[in-house]
Structure 1
Amino acid sequence: MNKLGLLGAAAVATALCFPSDAQADPVLNASIDAHAQALIGTSTGNGGSFVTKAVKNALAWTSSQWLYCFDVSTLSAAQWYEQIVPVDGSAPTNFVEITNIADVDAGHIFAINATGSYAGHAAVIIGEPIDITPPAGFYTPYRTGQKQWALPIVDSTSTEHGQNTAYPDSRRVAGVFTPSIVGTAYLRLYSDEATGEILSYGWSVTSTTEANVFDQSERPFAIGELDITACL
């Protein structure tokens, strides 16, 4: 049986939306966004477990279909990263990697690889990056020659993403943060001012210390757009 036969009619319908250059499908991106936001307030497991559930729901796949494409029933944050940037240096199978800030959009996956004692993290992007470079915003730390962005996400985490009126974490209500449920929040991205290349990220828009901004050498991270044509 080929992959097309295994995945069935639902996957075929999704696959037919893919353009000929094998770039991922905006209809599928919108579905991932919607299914991720539909999980707000629920408990799904943090990081990679949440993203697995959101993407699986968006694809409307059975467990067998998921296993055939991804090999494991639930991807950890590090495994989501490795889907986008394979650690063995091979080409990504199920993702198109997004490296320029202008190409980031809702439905893309943000994944941080595991490093040392850090287990990594994964989230679903739910909107275009918001320019917070002065004078559009006033959020330190600044980096010469770089623009900075507030990135709207939905995720499940035990660690709050920071809090202010403009860029809140929805899990803080009446001054109390509820961990390990799905909610909306904002990461911070830095990009090269001239080229748009994404250079580093911060866990929070509101954190003002350099120690909370990480480049690829410190905590490798990636943004990817799902392309399941390899599974069909």
Structure 2
Amino acid sequence: MNKLGLFGAAAVATALCFSSDARATGDGDVSGAALDLVVAGTNTGNGGSFVTKAVKDALGWSSSQWLYYFSYSTLSAARWYEAITAGTNLVEVDNINDVDAGQIFAINATGSYTGHAAVIIGEPIDITPPSGFYTPYVTGTKQWALPIADSTGSEHGQNASYPDSRRSSSGFAANVPGTAYLRVYSDATTGEILSYSWSVTSTNDANVFDQSERPFAIGELTVSP
């Protein structure tokens, strides 16, 4: 995998130029289905609901097919996390070298936090010094900007190089599908994924959460159309 990354800001903008007619529904392309929802501005609901819609569209499944495999009409972020960690129709990805487009990033619900889920739409981009420096820096780790598509009420930062597509001169458009970046930290030696941040931006929204604070998981579907 090319760790310089596939999805810079220009690549995300290019992806958004494609309409849903550019790909066939039901071909198993989860990242493509997610981008279709972004282009169409489809109101899916946030977090797990967006991911459910993208996966269901990619697989081309009816509601009865979906219920057969996943038991619920829609999966919340917490249920996506549970499905990944339990190995229910997904296999967990725990090394940064294995992260790729079409996988699901899910943050479990903890306390008052309801969790979140997103579709990964490109390879992780290395932003570790000297190629980049975004505080907070964690000793012994590498940092990655992870391109995602999701629906959320909270902006993923305002970094010009790693933007949230819902930001414009008039402000942030909340609760609609868009593309953005999470930040992921991995062990500098082994590549094990250790923690994440909501944003690449070095502001208060860049708090770093490990598995003890906000459990999260990345999963790849093991079912096909």
Query: What's the TM-score bracket when you normalise by the shorter of the two chains?
Result: 0.7 to 0.9
CA shift digits 1:118-145 (9 cap, x unpaired): 0000000000000000101010111111
**Corresponding residue for residue 53 of structure 2:** 53
Query: Cα RMSD (Å) of the superposition?
Result: 1.5
Contact 1:141 1:210 in 2 (8 A): no
Pair 1:131-2:126 in alignment: yes
Moved more, 35-44 or 50-59: 35-44
Distance (Å, rounded) in 2 between the aligned partners of 1:208 and 1:200: 17
Percent sequence identity over matched residues? 72
Per the alignment, residue 194 of structure 1 pairs with 189
Aligned CA distance change for structure 1 residues 103 and 158 (closer, same or farther; 3 Å):
same
In structure 2, the partner of 1:24 is none
Task: Report the counterpart of residue 199 of structure 2 in structure 1.
Answer: 204
Q: Which runs of 4+ in 1 moved over 6 A?
A: none
Post-superposition offset of 1:212: 1.1
Q: Does 1:215 align with 2:213?
A: no
**Where in structure 1 are there 5+ consecutive unaligned residues?**
1-26, 87-91
TM-superposition CA deviations, 1:83-121 (whole Å, max 9, x none) = 0013xxxxx121110000000000000000000000000
The answer (yes or no) to whether the contact 1:110–1:221 under 8 Å persists in 2 is yes
Partner of 1:37: 35
Q: Which amino acid aligns with 1:160?
A: E
Matched residue type, 1:120 = G
The structure with the larger Rg is 1
What is the TM-score normalised by the length of structure 2? 0.84
What one-letter code is carried by the residue in structure 2 that aligns with 1:193? A
Query: How much has 1:211 moved relative to structure 2?
Result: 7.0
Query: Partner of 1:82 in structure 2?
Result: 82
Gaps spanning 5+ residues in structure 2: where? 1-26
Match of 1:161 in 2: 156
TM-score (normalizing by structure 1): 0.82
SS at match of 2:146: strand
Alignment check: 8 A CA contact 1:47 1:157 kept: yes
**What does the per-residue CA deviation read over 1:204-224, in whole Å, with 9 as the maximum and x for residues that have no partner?**
000345971100000000000
Partner in structure 2 of residue 145 of structure 1: 140
Residue of structure 1 in register with 2:10 after alignment: none
Deviation at 1:175, TM superposition (A): 4.2
Corresponding residue SS for 1:85? helix
Name the SS of the counterpart of 1:39 in structure 2: helix
